[in-house]
């Protein structure tokens, strides 16, 4: 098995464990916080109860929305970074193996994923799953990731028309009141499944 395949599998398995651990801690913390505030509220008059909930509204928002947003954004960025890094290393390794004059870095146009695709198919004449649904989805995942990283999740007007269409087609994604893309646990898990399936196909059926 190619070392890049092994490293991708290891990184994604570690990330999966990270998701389970951190998400469980977040959910537990929110449940304990809610239980404590509800217990205190029961001892108060209706008006004082409302004041109590208002006082802790921002704290609950952090646990219910902001911290999960940070978690899922971080997970998506990490997943894509694994693919980015290891496929780049793969191209560099294959350049040496095939004694290719041209390097991946010589390709200037397009996204990194497109450069990798073109390098493997055009420069090294290797097979690549360009027509697979997972490859198409991986490029869409990269677009979401770029929005999170480069625009602070902000969707910007007509330029992001395709991104809006993609979000509307996925119930696991949403757009908030500030026009920012909001990820969910399920979207990240689905994205990980896509990445694992694509990597398996690439190494087992195309780069053997």
CA distance 142 to 62: 27
Cβ-based neighbour number of residue 135 at 10 Å: 17
Any idea what DSSP says for residue 2? -
Cβ-based neighbour number of residue 88 at 10 Å: 17
pLDDT digits (tens, 9 = 90+) for 126-154: 999 999 999 999 999 999 999 999 999 99
pLDDT, residue 3, reads 86
pLDDT, residue 159, reads 67
The interaxial angle of helices 185-201 and 3-41, nearest 10 deg, is 170
pLDDT digits (tens, 9 = 90+) for 55-67: 999 999 999 999 9
pLDDT digits (tens, 9 = 90+) for 177-186: 989 999 999 9
Residue 1 has pLDDT above 90, yes or no: no
Domain that holds residue 21: 3-206
Number of structural domains in the chain: 1
pLDDT, residue 4, reads 86
pLDDT digits (tens, 9 = 90+) for 8-26: 999 999 999 999 999 999 9
Which phi and psi (to 5°) does residue 44 adopt?
A: -110, 165
Question: Residue 32, SS3?
Answer: helix
Question: Residue 180, SS3?
Answer: strand
pLDDT, residue 135, reads 97
Name the residue among 140, 131, 125, 122 with its Cα closest to residue 194.
140
Structure-token pair, residue 125: 């004449």
């Amino acid at each position: 098995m190619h070392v890049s395949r092994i490293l991708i599998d290891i990184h994604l398995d570690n990330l999966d464990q990270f998701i389970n651990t951190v998400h469980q801690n977040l959910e537990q913390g929110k449940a304990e916080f809610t239980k404590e505030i509800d217990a205190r509220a029961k001892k108060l008059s209706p008006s004082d109860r409302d004041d109590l909930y208002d006082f802790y509204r921002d704290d609950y928002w952090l646990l219910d929305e902001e911290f999960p947003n940070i978690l899922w954004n971080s997970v998506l960025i990490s997943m894509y970074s694994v693919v980015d890094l290891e496929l780049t290393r793969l191209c560099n390794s294959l350049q040496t193996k095939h004694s290719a004059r041209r390097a991946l870095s010589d390709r200037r146009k397009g996204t990194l994923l497109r450069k990798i695709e073109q390098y493997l198919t055009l420069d090294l004449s290797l097979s690549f799953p360009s027509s697979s649904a997972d490859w198409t989805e991986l490029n869409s995942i990269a677009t979401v990731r770029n929005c999170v990283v480069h625009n602070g999740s902000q969707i910007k007007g007509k330029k992001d028309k395709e991104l809006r269409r993609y979000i509307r087609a996925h119930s696991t994604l949403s757009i908030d009141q500030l026009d920012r893309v909001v990820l969910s646990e399920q979207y990240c898990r689905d994205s990980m499944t896509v990445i694992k399936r694509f990597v398996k196909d690439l190494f087992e059926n195309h780069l053997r």
